[in-house]
A = this chain, B = another copy of it.
Amino acid sequence: MTSATFDFSPLLPAGLPTPAARWTGLAKYSFVGGNNDPEQVPVAGLIDAATAVLRREGKTLATYGLAHGPQGYRPLREFLTAKLKRDAGIDCVADDVLIVSGSLQALDLVNATLLARGDTVIVEQDTYQGSLNRLSRLGVNTVGVPLDGDGMRIDALASALADLKRRGVTPKYIYTIPTVQNPTGTIMPEARRAELLKLSKSYGVPVFEDDCYSDLIWDGKRPPAIYTMSKNGGVIHIGSFSKSIAPALRVGFIVAPWEMLSRMLALKTDAGSGALEQMVLAEYCAPHFTTHVPKLTRGLRAKLDTLMEALNAQFGTSAEFEAPAGGIYLWVKLPDNVDTLKLYQAALAAGVAINPGPEWSTDKARAGCRLRLCFASPSHEQIREGIAVLAEICRREFGVPARSANVEKRARTSI
């Protein structure tokens, strides 16, 4: 930089986030991000799909949105209506669906349609970091509702709503990941969904249902979507192909009443989401989705087993967790004296990337000894090695697990 270099800094507005650092690659043992198993990308099927759909409709790429309008490639929306009916009980038509560039764009559009600085929303106490970061950037207050093994606790939600009402605050939405909750992996049962809807109705607060992991359930069984259980249409439902097919394809979707969809469309000024990815997904998924997903989840389940075995072997009783019913992450509690923000730094220096709990929770103190471990992307061997390295770092930094733990636990798990 010489003195002749143009200085942009006086022009920058207040409140910009910290500049990004240069990309330095993925960690050797990466337990972060919604990445999936490279061996499970249906490459041959995607090639066949790309070939067929381009041969048949490639010329339509000359028109923005393939002349299917701003809601997205119609065959993909039609695949989705059939899939959502079959899997989630959602009765909708293609015109109720908006295809977006990944469910992150769905978060942005819902937020842009409903939120202003100073607003309040209700979220699950432990929840997706990307949602929390967005709300924080928007200057929106988050009220975290504790979870149990069945997801968001309804008694706590009722208290939070009553408390906000007393203070004259109407929250803009109740954000929930009810089906394979991120990061806890819980699935909210149907009865609790009904209770949630009762509260939503009585307080006039819509439900924002993020179902992006709902395809990845070990036994393939899930309760109906909150969207479909609602009698009054006060639910916005979003989902994604990132988890079921491949995260580098940026295709998600929103199902919502037209009152809201038309508002979001007015804010979606991107000239449509990528058409080739929509075309290839529609062409691939229509015949193959129902056979691909169970194969994928079997593989994920096996990796989860490897992860839990490795944690038991390396951390012994120091690592507490509940086996999730699906998904690609495990939410782990370490002893109270472990600070996972510090562990994160030390582990990263040793080539192990983890998600420290405080970044995934509205209760930073409670989440201080917790961490999220994603298991879909690393190989079984990398999972075993990475957890061994993590245990070593944790022992060095915090004295836990005790060196004897793995011996003790190995004996136990071999029973």
- Answer yes or no: A38 CB below 8 A from chain B CBs: yes
- Answer yes or no: A220 CB below 8 A from chain B CBs: no
Of A113-121, A156-164, A406-414, the segment with at least 4 beta carbons within 8 Å of chain B is A113-121
Q: Point out the residues of chain B lying under 8 angstroms from A167, CB to CB.
A: none
Q: Which of B4, B51, B69, B230 contacts A231 (CB 8 A)?
A: B4
Q: Is the CB of A11 within 8 A of B170?
A: yes
> Beyond A11-B206, A114-B13, A246-B62, is A234–B6 a contact (Cβ under 8 Å)?
yes
Nearest B residue to A13 by beta-carbon distance? B116
CA distance in complex: A261, B6 (Å): 14
CA distance in complex: A270, B35 (Å): 14
Q: Is the CB of B61 within 8 A of A248?
A: yes
- Answer yes or no: A41 CB below 8 A from chain B CBs: yes
- One digit per residue, 1 when the CB lies within 8 angstroms of any chain B CB and 0 when it does not, for chain A 42-76 equals 01001100110011001111111111011100000
> Beyond A11-B114, A60-B248, A95-B22, is A47–B41 a contact (Cβ under 8 Å)?
no
Q: Point out the residues of chain B lying under 8 angstroms from A173, CB to CB.
A: 11
Q: Enumerate A173-209 residues with CB–CB distance to B below 8 Å.
A: 173, 201, 204, 206
Of A79-87, A100-108, A316-324, A357-365, the segment with at least 4 beta carbons within 8 Å of chain B is A100-108
- Answer yes or no: A36 CB below 8 A from chain B CBs: yes
Q: Which of B8, B25, B43, B232 contacts A55 (CB 8 A)?
A: B43
Q: Which of B17, B69, B260, B280 contacts A23 (CB 8 A)?
A: B69
Q: Enumerate A1-35 residues with CB–CB distance to B below 8 Å.
A: 4-14, 16-23, 25-26, 33-35
Of A271-279, A348-356, A382-390, the segment with at least 4 beta carbons within 8 Å of chain B is A271-279
Q: Which of B18, B234, B266 contacts A17 (CB 8 A)?
A: B266
- Answer yes or no: A267 CB below 8 A from chain B CBs: yes
Q: Is the CB of B19 within 8 A of A262?
A: yes
A7 shortest CB reach to chain B, Å: 8
- Answer yes or no: A404 CB below 8 A from chain B CBs: no
Give the residue among A7, A35, A133, A247 with the most B Cβ atoms within 10 A: A247
CA distance in complex: A277, B134 (Å): 26
Nearest B residue to A52 by beta-carbon distance? B47
Q: Point out the residues of chain B lying under 8 angstroms from A234, CB to CB.
A: 6, 8
Q: Which of B9, B25, B63 contacts A248 (CB 8 A)?
A: B63
Q: Is the CB of A260 within 8 A of B62?
A: no
Give the residue among A9, A108, A248 with the most B Cβ atoms within 10 A: A248
Q: Is the CB of A36 within 8 A of B62?
A: yes
- One digit per residue, 1 when the CB lies within 8 angstroms of any chain B CB and 0 when it does not, for chain A 229-261 equals 011111000000010001111110000010110
CA distance in complex: A320, B377 (Å): 61
- Answer yes or no: A228 CB below 8 A from chain B CBs: no
Nearest B residue to A66 by beta-carbon distance? B248
> Beyond A17-B267, A116-B13, A263-B19, is A377–B6 a contact (Cβ under 8 Å)?
no
CA distance in complex: A269, B102 (Å): 11
A331 shortest CB reach to chain B, Å: 20
Q: Point out the residues of chain B lying under 8 angstroms from A376, CB to CB.
A: 62
Q: Is the CB of B270 within 8 A of A101?
A: yes
- Answer yes or no: A306 CB below 8 A from chain B CBs: no
- Answer yes or no: A265 CB below 8 A from chain B CBs: yes
Q: Point out the residues of chain B lying under 8 angstroms from A20, CB to CB.
A: 70, 262-263, 265-266
CA distance in complex: A95, B263 (Å): 37
Q: Is the CB of A38 within 8 A of B62?
A: yes
Q: Is the CB of A67 within 8 A of B13?
A: no
14 CB < 8 A contacts A-B: A6-B204, A8-B206, A8-B257, A9-B259, A23-B69, A36-B63, A38-B60, A46-B54, A47-B51, A47-B54, A47-B58, A64-B248, A101-B250, A102-B270
